[in-house]
């Protein structure tokens, strides 16, 4: 088999990159270890930055998102039983976010690729990369009980944290920076009406809580727990009791409850791989960086990664120049580290650290008081949450 760009992973990064390259007339093949049903059925929340919404619309895959997604103009920060609305729409001159789950984005991208005749091989196994530092790298894999080899000009590692791509960057070059947080999230999918028009981020003595949404009938909520806790310790009654306590307000507002359809516990960490490229191998999305979900940056960083890659690859085939591809890590990592900074800020400000002294706890609450009472601080939070621009220096963004 042969193609111009071999893409490992059919997550948001791999699918969007394949779609963008298709629009530029550049052929790709995507290799995915899971089934289509699995990747489309793995339920994940999604807060899309303004830039991600614009990209999906400009590339022709935003129709269902605009019809079914929920546009939010702000969020609410809660502490000491009082809510403070952050009017991001006003503070960012008309920008907003879209609540549209990640797996729905995947469905839209898979449908677009298959409709256009794009090649996605699901259920591949034993993927390995070869000659990534040469002009003709190869991907070997098993598919339909047979061995295959895909020759290409470039390999795009969009295969997540546990995929094989990142390890192909030599240990002498690859630097992995990580922070493990002492917090976990217990997430539920519940059959209830929408609790609040906008997301609620609550700092409470019991721990953090997030009131989110998915559809008018199904909601996604989270509470802070010990990352090593057992989900079996959390009955539905215990979850609702704890969740309601963390978001109750002095004005008597109550959280509607209902049947819990799904529940799980996830740990939280920050991770960055530097550089994000080696030879003809380029990393994007979770293969290169992971952020705690408090800042809502994971999928959005993947989307900015692939915009840089699409422009660099397109320039290579148009002019033969690799100058933009050679600067991929430099360009992408500037935004990655700013997203890490913001995600760390939100995580440490909103979660209850039970190792803190009373002094440190009071400082945390004072930080929330300052952020919600200073227009400058609210503007900074809003700019970061809505999404900082992709810094191209002299380059222009895709579809500009």
Catalytic positions, please?
72, 201, 293, 297, 385
Query: Could you write out the three-class secondary structure of 197-264?
Result: CCCEEEECCCCCEEECCCCCCEEEEEEEECCCCCHHHCCHHHHHHHHHHHHCCCCCCCCCCCCEEEEE
> Residue 376 — left, alpha, or beta (φ > 0 → left; ψ -120 to 50 → alpha)?
alpha
- Sign of the dihedral defined by the CA atoms of residues 83, 88, 90, 91, in that order: positive
* CB-based contact 261:190 (threshold 8 Å): yes
222 forms bridges with which residues in the sheet? Answer: 187, 210
- Provide the edge-to-edge strand list for the sheet that holds 119-121: 119-121, 28-31, 5-8, 154-157, 281-283, 277-278
Distance of CA 364 to CAs 159, 204, 350, Å? Answer: 37, 11, 8
Q: Measure the N-to-C terminal CA separation of the chain; round to a whole number of Å.
A: 35
Q: Rounded distance, CA 118 to CA 384, Å?
A: 34
The DSSP letter of residue 26 is: -
């Amino acid at each position: 088999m042969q193609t111009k760009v071999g893409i490992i992973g059919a997550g948001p990064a791999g699918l969007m990159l394949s779609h963008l390259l298709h629009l530029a007339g550049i052929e790709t093949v995507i290799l995915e270890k899971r089934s289509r049903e699995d990747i489309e059925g793995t339920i994940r929340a999604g807060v899309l930055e303004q830039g991600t919404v614009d990209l999906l619309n400009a590339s022709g895959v935003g129709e269902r998102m605009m019809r079914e997604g929920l546009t939010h103009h702000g969020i609410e920060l809660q502490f000491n039983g009082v809510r403070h609305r952050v009017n991001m729409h006003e503070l960012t001159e008309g920008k907003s976010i879209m609540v549209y789950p990640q797996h729905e984005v995947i469905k839209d991208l898979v449908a677009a690729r298959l409709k256009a005749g794009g090649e996605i091989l699901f259920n591949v196994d034993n993927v390995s990369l070869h000659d990534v530092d040469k002009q003709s790298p190869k991907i070997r894999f098993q598919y339909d009980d047979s061995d295959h080899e895909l020759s290409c000009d470039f390999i795009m590692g969009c295969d997540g944290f546990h995929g094989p791509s990142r390890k192909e960057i030599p240990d002498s070059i690859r630097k992995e920076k990580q922070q493990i947080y002492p917090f976990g999230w217990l997430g539920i999918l519940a059959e209830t009406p929408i609790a609040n028009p906008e997301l609620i981020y609550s700092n409470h003595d019991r721990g953090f809580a997030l009131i989110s949404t998915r559809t008018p009938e199904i909601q996604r909520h989270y509470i802070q727990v010990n990352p090593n806790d057992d989900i079996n310790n959390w009955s539905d009654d215990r979850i609702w009791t704890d969740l309601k306590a963390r978001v109750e307000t002095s004005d008597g507002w109550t959280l509607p409850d209902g049947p819990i359809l799904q529940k799980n516990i996830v740990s939280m960490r920050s991770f960055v791989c530097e550089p994000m490229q080696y030879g003809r191998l380029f990393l994007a999305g979770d293969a290169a960086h992971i952020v705690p979900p408090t800042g809502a940056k994971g999928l959005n960083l993947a989307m900015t990664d692939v915009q840089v890659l699409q422009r660099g690859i397109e320039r290579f085939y148009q002019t033969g120049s690799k100058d933009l591809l050679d600067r991929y890590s430099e360009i992408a990592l500037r935004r990655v580290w700013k997203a890490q900074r913001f995600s760390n800020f939100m995580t440490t400000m909103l979660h209850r650290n039970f190792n803190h002294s009373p002094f440190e706890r009071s400082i945390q609450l004072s930080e929330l008081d300052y952020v919600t009472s200073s227009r400058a601080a609210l503007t900074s939070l809003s700019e970061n949450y809505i999404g900082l621009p992709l810094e191209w220096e002299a380059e222009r963004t895709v579809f500009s």
